[in-house]
Amino acid sequence: MTQYVALFRGINVGGKHIVPMKDLREIFSSLGYENVQTYIQSGNAVFSSDASTDKLSASLSKEVGKRFGFEPQVLVLTSDRFHEIVASNPYADVDSEPKTVHVTFLSANPVDPDLATLDELRAGSESFELKDGAFYLHAPDGIARSRLAAKVDRCLGVDTTARNWRTVTKLVEMLT
């Protein structure tokens, strides 16, 4: 069996699209996925399966839709791919402030990313890098204040979901 990381976009944010993690774990189990673990309420899971990533994403989204009335975007990465993205983080040395570093996981490699617009939106303290199928952002003044962070999807032209470095490192710990 292959170990995977599932990243749900837009669940349990701002009181909308509420999915309790207990119910999410039950969804994984009902689909036959094994060794399911979730982390915090924002839709992060580690699990094992023999299915392909495309099948996993679709089945998880549809099952949440059946139970909760909306189909969230679900990005599923193999453990190996997740570790590659983590290892490529140019800001990993900012361990003292892990909430200032964000990894935006991409559904596909951008064909024509508008990095010039992102650079124009960048605050003086911020830095970013697009590489290895992920967008890395260091926002020392906080993500909530970042004009750049709000436009990443639009400027890259692909579906994304972001996690702060603390969450990413916790998911790495959960992988065996």
Domain boundaries, the chain: 2-81, 88-165
pLDDT value at residue 95: 64
Strand pairing report for 34-39 and 2-8:
unpaired
pLDDT value at residue 93: 84
Contact 22, 97 (CB under 8 A): no
Chunked mean pLDDT (size 10), the chain, 176 residues: 95 84 96 96 94 93 96 96 96 81 95 96 95 93 91 95 94 94
Q: What pTM did the predictor assign? A: 0.93
CATH of domain 2-81: 3.30.70.1280
CA 64 from chain centre, in angstroms, equals: 17
pLDDT value at residue 94: 76
